[in-house]
Structure 1
Amino acid sequence: MPWVRQINSQTDTVYTGNPGWMSVSGVGQLATADGFSNTKDAARMMTECFASSQYYSGFTGSKVISQKEFDRNGHAGWWIRSEIYVSMSNLPQVKGDVVDVVVMNTGRSDFFGVYFNSATIGDSARQKLVDRARDSIQVG
């Protein structure tokens, strides 16, 4: 994701193979100079980038599950949860991911903060982990 600046992320391998399957959580910055003009549109743009065959092997489609304001410490943001669907012959048990994208106004005019995560559809243990991580977001 070359458009995300100062990115830090971690992966959790779900299934090994070629291709394998993993869950990802990350944070970074989105530059307003790159066309990210507000948190709602930036979250939509990030979600659309994730929901693609360039990001997901075997991509078959996606749908937005929810989207809403996301406020922390007096900072406004936007949260989109989507499901991204795949079909992979070597991993037939994988239906896709639940993906969260949260874009926050950090008080700076040149950057927004971004948080993203994924959990395999149906993997309630990983989903709880990423939900707790998202709920812990603070803007300092």
Structure 2
Amino acid sequence: MPRITRLAGRSWLSRGAHVADSGWYPDPSGIPGRYRYWDGQQWSPATSADPSAPPPGANPQPRRGRGGALIAALAAVLVLAVIVTLAVRSFGTGRDSVRDDPHPPPPTASGWDDSSPLPTASPTPTRTPSPSPSEHDPGDDASVRPPGQVACADGNPSAHELHPGDGRIHGGRLSIAQPGGSWVRDDGYAAGLSYAWDVSGASDTVETYWWAMLAVGALHATDGFKHPKQAAEALMQCTATSGYYQHRTGVKTLSSKRFTLAGHSGWAIRSEIRVDDPRVHAEGDVVEVIVLDTGDAGRLSFFAGFVPIGDAARIDTLDNTIAGLRVD
């Protein structure tokens, strides 16, 4: 899949080849009125409704006189106007990690058609369940979203829990073996699964603008992920309509079936997501998502794997990784 550069949702900021300075920017998840802090290298988990707030962890600055405050306010307005103009709600397009160029083109329309319930982003900084049908959330109105873009839950993939230091890759209640060869540990790329929590993973460079990825993490019921089958369908839908695949041409389900691991029930879906991207040779990815009920109240655990269509060696790695999947 294309390389993304996103901590929690996949939108990036840059000025040409220059990386954006540190500061509060419109949250890449697209939630109106919310800002996320960019420290010059990566996104912080901290968010704020006030773009003039001090950096996360910083001591508040002394209040300035009216003249200084007015100049600062005008400067903030100008900077914000530039940022809003530059910001695009999609994920990065280059190989860069969260430290590099975060400004890709917007996603294109998708032919995905699925009537299953889908987690939606909360309209406020406070995490709440998806609104009921009687509530109207403008941020979840298809008429105001870019064509083909699905409103998915806003998780925090970089909110890592404590896991064993055993050389395996842990997320949620699952773990996978670190793949060998050219695969590298890459939690930054895995953090592009912005609708999840506690996500860790590994990536492998396929070509200049295409990467394979394997990841594990958690999904929260309060974000709309209620049971394994529904959550697996929603996870696949969010992924297929995300900026990972900006030149999508189609999605084909190869299998959708029950999955059991160590006595825990779940659901597995394997699909082909095809693209027509002039920058790459890849035709798209074979994508597998597995969601398990690992017995934790209010959350599920998941595995997600993305490898190029027709790439026998990496598809073998995907299958072997799934075979070695463990419940922690």
Task: Give the TM-score, by structure 2 length.
Answer: 0.41
- Could you tell me which residue of structure 2 aligns to residue 7 of structure 1? 199
Taking only aligned residues, the RMSD between alpha carbons, in angstroms, comes to 1.0
Task: Give the TM-score, by structure 1 length.
Answer: 0.93
- Could you tell me which residue of structure 2 aligns to residue 111 of structure 1? 299
SS at match of 2:261: coil
Q: Which has the higher contact order (CA 8 A, sep 6+)?
A: 1
Inter-partner Cα distance in structure 2 for 1:43 and 1:57: 21
- Could you tell me which residue of structure 1 aligns to residue 218 of structure 2? 29
Count of aligned positions = 136
The structure with the greater share of residues assigned to strand is: 1
Inter-partner Cα distance in structure 2 for 1:85 and 1:37: 28
Per-residue deviation at 1:34? 0.7
- Could you tell me which residue of structure 1 aligns to residue 123 of structure 2? none
Inter-partner Cα distance in structure 2 for 1:49 and 1:102: 14
Per-residue deviation at 1:60? 1.2
Per-residue deviation at 1:53? 5.0
Inter-partner Cα distance in structure 1 for 2:199 and 2:249: 27
Matched, 1:137 2:325: yes
Contact kept, 8 Å, 1:51 with 1:61, in 2: the verdict is no
2:262 corresponds, among 59, 62, 73, to 73
SS at match of 2:203: strand
Per-residue deviation at 1:136? 1.3
The structure number with the bigger radius of gyration is 2
Inter-partner Cα distance in structure 1 for 2:323 and 2:236: 19
Contact kept, 8 Å, 1:106 with 1:113, in 2: the verdict is yes
Aligned partner letter, 1:47: M
Aligned partner letter, 1:96: G
Matched, 1:99 2:287: yes
- Could you tell me which residue of structure 1 aligns to residue 241 of structure 2? 52
Contact kept, 8 Å, 1:39 with 1:104, in 2: the verdict is yes
Inter-partner Cα distance in structure 2 for 1:63 and 1:4: 23
Contact kept, 8 Å, 1:77 with 1:103, in 2: the verdict is yes
Inter-partner Cα distance in structure 2 for 1:38 and 1:83: 23
Instruction: Name stretches of at least 5 consecutive residues in structure 1 with no aligned partner.
Output: none
Contact kept, 8 Å, 1:11 with 1:22, in 2: the verdict is yes
Contact kept, 8 Å, 1:69 with 1:79, in 2: the verdict is yes
